[in-house]
Chains A and B, each alone.
Chain A
């Protein structure tokens, strides 16, 4: 067993890929500086060289397009966007090119790049440094969208994403970087086999989350048990697209209550997708309470700390809302 934080687990995935796959390179802004990507890439440039760890001009669109083009020729590029907000300039390479390439060329070549982007919010950073845009990407056929919660998934799903032949949006969360865990040695897994996972079994309510929202779900489940005697089944989505909702449906059939916690805003968000995909697959009148989504409100992230505290969900609010909903 090896002890890792979420941050160093990501670094160990990069190290594994660079060590074993010479066709793998990493490109993006800030890769030669610890300033942008925390401890997730420390000294990789020194160990593997600046020809494989490439810090770039401030050109998110062209850099992402470069990775798409290189991947069509057999490379395994990883593009790093230190904030998901910054990659909005790169929507054409991601949405028009990478996502559709295999389909519109009949599978003659595949853009197997991985776009690793970071959710990095809080600290009064405001509207353009705080977004969680996974729902956007999950709406685009052809992309695979991965959001690890566990330390082991942060490492193993990153490796699986890079080895996958399809374009993958891998989203990690700065608020999880200090989570720690003992990890098994690396084994390669196929991304297409990864599905949402029951990480806490329970009988009274199903709580679905992804990435940091799963942490909120786990913490809420503990308090629900301790203070209210409610037994929660927590499901971590892991791969948002393509979504395999089998485990969610089975859990809801058992608990008859569904709560979704999501780090994005409410309207047209991923929580709505989870609720719909469950409700349309279970018999009418299965649910004993209304399904509930706990999300960000439909407004941009604020700066002032008072507004910030009101904006982001916290565990005690989540617990109160779940208890009220189940009453």
Chain B
């Protein structure tokens, strides 16, 4: 009996597997037929499409697309931006969707296997090295120069606004292989990310003014620590906190800049000369200062190890405020911006003046672009249609549609006499619905970073209404804060995206990875005192030399000069 049962189970299993196999193979052949059919319509319609420029196309065309499915967006097929795009263009977009994490591995695999779609899109997906590899070397990507010349109306508008962009998009062989992302024209609050947020009520409580020098800042932190500014009778105050491995939240980034130029490229450009940072004496001075703060318990020891969410747990601590100041790219990383009482207490602190009178903060002076977020492969039968789709996202209309939502639903035309973020530009739109932290639903009417290309500065066209400290005006507040920092912009030039030729590319990435690893560790060791600054400095310099810090600087200089 048992044997029969067993046989039955095996048979049943085999049958199920068999039907599955049949099912999938039938499906497969059907798909092949479909693909063949659409290919034949493609070739038929491309002639028509060529005649009638612009959307919607007279005849539908199928274009296959590699795209990233973001978890914050509903399935792309159900997303109204995607549906409207298909409707508007009369192009049937055949999607290959990959998850955000692992997208570049998957892309490399597909490109290596020779089975890839017509268009590849995804914000910041391809680096300039990828463009060199798949464009210049392997010729998988097609050059877009002529296509942009003929069809890229809006792309050319953006080039006119930012003359440097065309060069930055051009690979070493003179071809343009992809269109990069420029969030709202690449301008806005991320021009300066080394920001310090300080609690002004605490400043009042300890009776001190906004600190302007490193010494004053030290006194303020000391007072935060000892004078019980949150008035609960317990010494639970954390004078300064931060986080690591996130957007510019390491406390030393802001503080070291009080002594001289410092950023995590570990080099900077000034009048055509690439300068080193890590081996400078001012870094040593700065580290001594930060170490002194740390020694006196003025910096949260967790700041060098915790991640963003742990930092925000400190900032959002229930009932009582326990953090006096925090470093992070935007204050929403540190606290819930909807908690208006607390959100209002933290103000941006201006860069500090160091002991030798230096003052400055790294500030991006012109918007740059690099890599690509949209490329066309050699499989594409209708590149002129593909480039026109890309061109749509280099304009206001579709950028606003994809990132804000539907008109009269999420936004509408602005009222007379209202102004954008800079307070000068007359507003064109206004927000009706603004996503703040409380919304955990997947977006249906927007698609976030699914595709963003060379955008005009559309954020500045949205009216800022009411108090700038409202959570709904968060971006405007950040922008206003960032503009204040502009006066302190460090005396360094923005480094254009550099394309390292051939082997230099590997050499550079090896050198910079090793140095970044070593430097970020060494800095924390110096600050926390596991390594003595005076005694350890020479061996630190020797290590930098051994890791090829000077070679890296020379390589950057060489590539910059050859540009």
A and B from one assembly?
no
